[in-house]
Amino acid sequence: MTPVILVCITLVLIAGQASSLPKDDNIKFVQGQVLRAVTKTPAHPFLVRTNKTSGLVYEGYLKDVLSSLARILKFEYEIYESPDGKYGAPDHRGVWNGMVGEVAYGRANLTLAPLTISSLREKIVDFTKPYLHVGTDMMMKTPSEDVDIFSFLMPFEPFLWLTILGAVLGIALLLFLTAKARTMAGAVDKSFDNDSAFTGYNSIWFAVWSVLRKGGEPAPRSIPARILAAGLWLFALIVVSTYTANLSAFLTVKRLESPINSLDSLVHHTKTRFGVPRDTFLYSFFESYKDDTGNVYKEAWDRMETDDSYYKNFADGVSKTKKGEFVMLAETPFLEYAVLNDEKCELMLVGAPFLFQGYGLATRRGDPLRKALSIG
């Protein structure tokens, strides 16, 4: 196939992209319109607002998605912030606030945010097909590692240390008594043996430097002394090798153990406060269980209400978490972003994700825009 034919095929495919969408009246309805997209920032990494010389600029995953949809469906758009800075939940009168309220009451055409699709919200707005499926995670401050000057004793239990000390002193005593008995019995070869040098002090010192695997004086010359020394060296070889292996394991494999590994353990960990932001899907979810009994979500709601441990926004939640004794509950992408971008490595995720939901773009009820966006 010649390069000319390849170029022609490529041009045909590019030209055909505009007509690749199905011919749908909903898509034609959108073409040429100027849509108002309501959002809430910051929402790393989905959407952030930055100040540049040209003015306010929105950047992020959802901004790229909306730009691509505008190019495919041939519409224009403008983005504005939700006046109350909330995602959207009903109050006691049933009036919705946040981005959901902006769309439901006709002030915006669609939401541009990581908005969770829920049955409660679908009573007042329509959602596109989910663009991302997420779970709910828990984030806490990384447990601090206490420095212990006696950490070198950790590989062995205290009883074992006492046993080793007793064995070393016992061999030193046997060495001293053997040398003393041989000297008193006149069984010493004065031209070769040095049993007389093994006093109580020297015997203990010989046992110590044998265990530490360092040379020293005096060295045993008589056969009984050498037999005791060989037994001590074999004992030292086994003890030191075992100690070195265990010490390496303690120093290199330090697992951060947390008493919290699930929502149930979090609820029953009375010393730790936890919370979610108000007027969000998570808040409405836990609130829906407030009249239940014997349910972990009910217990979680009661704890949050009693402690008043809700956080205002994402930055506030991260700040509380870094102070310690607080666990932040939020969707997994937000918490993963916070952990990966924490310069001091003070944050960690605990437990397994739960409560899986989808993110979608919300439109007014019955608006053909929903289908057009889903197709796009």
- Whose CA is closest to 363, among 71, 136, 49, 30? 30
Token pair recorded at residue 321: 């978490």
What pLDDT score was predicted for residue 325? Answer: 84
Domain with CATH 3.40.190.10 in the chain: 23-131+362-375, 141-145+257-356
Sign of the CA dihedral running 281, 282, 286, 287:
negative
Comparing 9 with 249, the larger pLDDT belongs to 249
What pLDDT score was predicted for residue 335? Answer: 93
* Percent of the chain whose predicted confidence (pLDDT) is above 90: 41
Could you tell me the pLDDT band of residue 7, with boundaries at 50, 70 and 90? very low
Contacts of 202 (CB under 8 A, 6+ apart): 218
Residues 44-80 have pLDDT tens digits of: 889 988 877 766 789 999 999 999 999 999 999 999 9
Element (H, E) at 203: helix 200-211
Token pair recorded at residue 238: 């086994």
The amino acid present at 178, given as its one-letter code, is T
| Residue 220 assigned to a binding site | no
- Three-class secondary structure assignment of 55-81: EEEEECHHHHHHHHHHHHHCCEEEEEE
Domain with CATH 1.10.287.70 in the chain: 151-252
pLDDT at 11 over 60: no
Q: What is the CATH number of domain 141-145+257-356?
A: 3.40.190.10
pLDDT at 258 over 70: no
What pLDDT score was predicted for residue 74? Answer: 92
Average pLDDT, the chain: 84
The whole-number average pLDDT for the span 74-91 is 91
What pLDDT score was predicted for residue 201? Answer: 82
| Residue 199 assigned to a binding site | no
Token pair recorded at residue 280: 């969000």
DSSP state of 195: G
Could you tell me the pLDDT band of residue 251, with boundaries at 50, 70 and 90? low
SS3 state of residue 42: coil
| Residue 116 assigned to a binding site | yes
Lowest-pLDDT range of 10-14, 121-125, 169-173: 10-14
What pLDDT score was predicted for residue 326? Answer: 92
The whole-number average pLDDT for the span 242-255 is 74
* Percent of the chain whose predicted confidence (pLDDT) is above 70: 87
Sign of the CA dihedral running 239, 241, 247, 250:
negative
Q: Does the bond joining 155 to the residue before it have cis omega, within 30 degrees of 0?
A: no
Token pair recorded at residue 22: 């199905």
Taking the C-alpha atoms of residue 117 and residue 129, their distance in angstroms, rounded to an integer, is 9
What pLDDT score was predicted for residue 6? Answer: 52
Taking the C-alpha atoms of residue 274 and residue 138, their distance in angstroms, rounded to an integer, is 9
Instruction: Report angle CA 181, 186, 188 to the nearest 5 degrees.
Output: 85
* Alpha helix (H) residue ranges in 212-324: 223-252, 263-267, 281-287, 296-307, 314-323
Token pair recorded at residue 251: 């120093």
Comparing 216 with 136, the larger pLDDT belongs to 136
Q: What is the CATH number of domain 151-252?
A: 1.10.287.70
Residues 297-355 have pLDDT tens digits of: 999 999 999 999 999 888 899 999 999 889 999 999 999 999 999 988 889 998 888 88
Residues 127-171 have pLDDT tens digits of: 999 999 999 999 999 877 666 677 778 888 889 999 999 988 998
Indicate the pTM of the whole model.
0.62
SS3 state of residue 278: coil
pLDDT at 43 over 90: no
What pLDDT score was predicted for residue 19? Answer: 46
Taking the C-alpha atoms of residue 169 and residue 187, their distance in angstroms, rounded to an integer, is 25
Q: What is the CATH number of domain 23-131+362-375?
A: 3.40.190.10
What pLDDT score was predicted for residue 21? Answer: 57
| Residue 336 assigned to a binding site | no
